[in-house]
A and B are shown apart, each in its own frame.
Chain A
Amino acid sequence: DAGITQSPRHKVTETGTPVTLRCHQTENHRYMYWYRQDPGHGLRLIHYSYGVKDTDKGEVSDGYSVSRSKTEDFLLTLESATSSQTSVYFCATAYGQGNQPQHFGDGTRLSIL
């Protein structure tokens, strides 16, 4: 949907290691978002971007950082992964603010042992 590709699709790693997830979009959407989805919590916003090099925190941003050096790429980094960050991570994009729907990638399943 909306040409969104997330990589990797699956990853298993150990506590304390750095992890970077990538979201790539081909639709030239201005807004990009990272969510995590956990049972009983639904989707929660981690960070979002409203333009190149313009980012801000969501409701569950602790332990995560993001970067957006190009319109098409939005990276999510776990500096030192913890078991509580085991989750499914979704990237979403939107053309603009206001009336525009969000479009989602297929997710990255991340397991931290």
Chain B
Amino acid sequence: KQEVTQIPAALSVPEGENLVLNCSFTDSAIYNLQWFRQDPGKGLTSLLLIQSSQREQTSGRLNASLDKSSGRSTLYIAASQPGDSATYLCAVRYGGATNKLIFGTGTLLAVQP
């Protein structure tokens, strides 16, 4: 069964700290992997999309890496800010024409001022 796991489930850090969120997947034959942010009561905002042929993607203070062979992806957030507080979700797309995603259960991040 294709599963996606995110550890830790919750994380609290002081403002300014660099941090890493982890995502692991059981089937390494992925097509791509997407990181999302979800604020309370809101939908998901796409942060980064990494294709299976890529090793990493960067957007501002965010950097996502992908290691297919080990079934892992990390989201690195530099110089964290209170506004980064949210739930972060990773989702994996496997082969096929439908673009269906399999989601992890997320990491709830709290950045303390």
B89 / chain A contacts, CB cutoff of 8 Å = 42-43
B29 at the interface (CB under 8 A from A): no
Q: Give A residues with C-beta under 8 Å from B.
A: 1, 4, 31, 33, 40-45, 48, 50, 56, 58, 90, 92, 94, 96-107
| 6 A/B residue pairs, CB under 8 Å, sorted by A | A42-B89, A42-B106, A50-B97, A94-B99, A96-B99, A106-B42
Please provide the chain B residues from 59 to 106 with a CB less than 8 Å away from any CB of chain A in the complex: 89, 91, 97-101, 103-106
**Cα distance A100–B103 when bound, in Å?**
16
Contact call A58/B100, Cβ cutoff below 8 A:
yes
B43 at the interface (CB under 8 A from A): yes
Query: In which size bucket is the chain B interface?
Result: 20 to 34
Contact call A45/B49, Cβ cutoff below 8 A:
no
A1 / chain B contacts, CB cutoff of 8 Å = 43, 45-46
Q: Using an 8 Å CB-CB cutoff, how does the interface string of B9-41 with A read, 1 for contact, 0 for none?
A: 000000000000000000000011010100001
- Pick the residue among A4, A43, A102, A106 that contacts B99 (CB under 8 A): A102
Contact call A101/B100, Cβ cutoff below 8 A:
no
Contact call A106/B43, Cβ cutoff below 8 A:
yes
Contact call B99/A42, Cβ cutoff below 8 A:
no
Q: Quick one: given A99-B49, A101-B49, are A45 and B43 in contact (CB under 8 Å)?
A: no
Contact call B43/A31, Cβ cutoff below 8 A:
no
Contact call A104/B99, Cβ cutoff below 8 A:
no
Q: Quick one: given A40-B105, A42-B89, A42-B105, are A104 and B100 in contact (CB under 8 Å)?
A: no
**Shortest beta-carbon distance from B28 to chain A in Å:** 19
**Cα distance A99–B101 when bound, in Å?**
12
**Cα distance A33–B103 when bound, in Å?**
14
Contact call B44/A90, Cβ cutoff below 8 A:
yes
**Cα distance A100–B89 when bound, in Å?**
17
Contact call A102/B104, Cβ cutoff below 8 A:
no
A90 / chain B contacts, CB cutoff of 8 Å = 43-44
Of all chain B residues, the one with the shortest Cβ separation from A90 is B43
